[in-house]
Amino acid sequence: MSRVDLTPRLRLAADYIDKHGWIQGQERDDQGHVCLTGAIRRCAPQNGDGEIIRAVMRMKGVGEEWNDDEPRTESEVLEVLRSTEITDTDLEVTFGPQWVEIVALVRRDATLTDAVYAVLTAACGGWFSPAWDSSCHHAAMAGLSGAWDAVVNGTRYATRDAAQGLVVRHLIAPDGFTQGHYNTLTKPWAAIIGKVHPDD
């Protein structure tokens, strides 16, 4: 059982498709039919959990592209939703060693008011931090591309700096991705929302 209990949301998503019908190529149509992702989004009442689950499902190879593969059937989608478990190991494989903090960040991001988010966006300098240079990108790509994609897809622009810092926090070294880079990426979030990692 995961400390972040997401598996029941998959069962609810299966029930949702059973009730409303299944589609490919879009999350929801005018008749209320939904794809795998659309069902997950509608059955994840905890803010941010829809994005977290989607990231794990992509890691498992049963995300949007799998749903939209032409030979796919509704029964296959329902089987995946009824049989898949989301464990702590899945979350670590998806998000990396700081997965607990990343899950908390994505959830917190989903609760921010427009006013708070506007302040955070201004503090982050838009959506791309000057701290994110080629050396940081190279460090992140060193075996972490899956976690990287999951975080970037699961957070809004102003939160991405903090999320990016968390993904590669364990790679901090004198060369490449440094403590200075990490501090620059996480400082706006830390100043406005709070520390992104308890050891910061």
Task: State the DSSP string of 50-69.
Answer: HHHHHHHHHHTT-SHHHHHS
**Nearest-CA neighbor of 131 among 173, 187, 189, 197?**
187
User: Rounded to whole angstroms, what are the CA distances from 143 to 47, 95, 154, 167, 174?
Assistant: 29, 12, 19, 11, 19
Residue 151: what pLDDT?
A: 64
Question: What's phi and psi for 63, nearest 5 deg?
Answer: -100, -150
Per mean pLDDT, which of 1-5, 42-46, 147-151, 154-158 is the most reliable?
Answer: 42-46
Name the band, by pLDDT with cuts 50, 70 and 90, for residue 67.
Answer: very high
Residue 100: what pLDDT?
A: 92
Please write the tens of the pLDDT for every residue from 3-27. Answer: 778 999 999 999 999 999 999 999 9
Residue 92, CA atoms < 13 Å, CB-side half-sphere: 6
Name the band, by pLDDT with cuts 50, 70 and 90, for residue 1.
Answer: very low
Model pTM above 0.75: yes
Q: Does the pLDDT at position 141 exceed 60?
A: no
141 vs 147, more confident? 147
Sign of CA dihedral 126, 132, 133, 139: negative
Residue 15: what pLDDT?
A: 97
Token pair 């880079």 is found at: 181
Question: What's phi and psi for 72, nearest 5 deg?
Answer: -60, 145
**Nearest-CA neighbor of 125 among 193, 185, 181?**
185
Q: What are the domain boundaries of the chain?
A: 7-87, 96-192
Residue 181, CA atoms < 13 Å, CB-side half-sphere: 26
Name the band, by pLDDT with cuts 50, 70 and 90, for residue 143.
Answer: very low
User: Rounded to whole angstroms, what are the CA distances from 142 to 16, 138, 168?
Assistant: 39, 6, 10
**Mean pLDDT calculated for residue range 89-110:** 89
Mean pLDDT of the chain: 84
Token pair 């991001």 is found at: 109
For every residue of 137-189, which 3-state class applies, written as one string? HHHHHCCCHHHHHHHHHHCCHHHHHHHHHHHCHHHCCCCCCCHHHHHHHHHHH
163 vs 73, more confident? 73
**Mean pLDDT calculated for residue range 136-151:** 54
* Percent of residues, the chain, with pLDDT higher than 90: 46
164 vs 27, more confident? 27
Question: What's phi and psi for 175, nearest 5 deg?
Answer: -115, 155
Token pair 């949007």 is found at: 64
Q: Does the pLDDT at position 139 exceed 70?
A: no
